[in-house]
Amino acid sequence: MTENKRDRFVRVAERRTNAILEKLRVLGNCSNQSMYEYTDEEISKIFSAIRKSVKETESLFKQKSSKQFRLGG
């Protein structure tokens, strides 16, 4: 049985989302100040980069899939 586009999306998106969530959890381990030293500026840079990347990726999903020129509607 061949996998349809929807099933493939669900399979791949779930796996990739879970990988990202795991990496964020691991990044959170760096907040342990008994093991690491960091500045507020460094933390701001990290989360600014993460927010920017999330926003860029989300915009890819919101783009119109059709790039054909149309007058009206």
Annotated domain spans of the chain: 1-31
Give residue 50's pLDDT: 98
Residue owning tokens 């500026």: 41
Give residue 67's pLDDT: 65
Phi and psi at 39, nearest 5°, equal -105, 160
Q: Is the pLDDT of residue 49 over 80?
A: yes
pLDDT band for position 20 (cuts 50, 70, 90): very high
Beta carbons within 10 angstroms of residue 46's beta carbon: 13
Q: Is the pLDDT of residue 66 over 70?
A: no
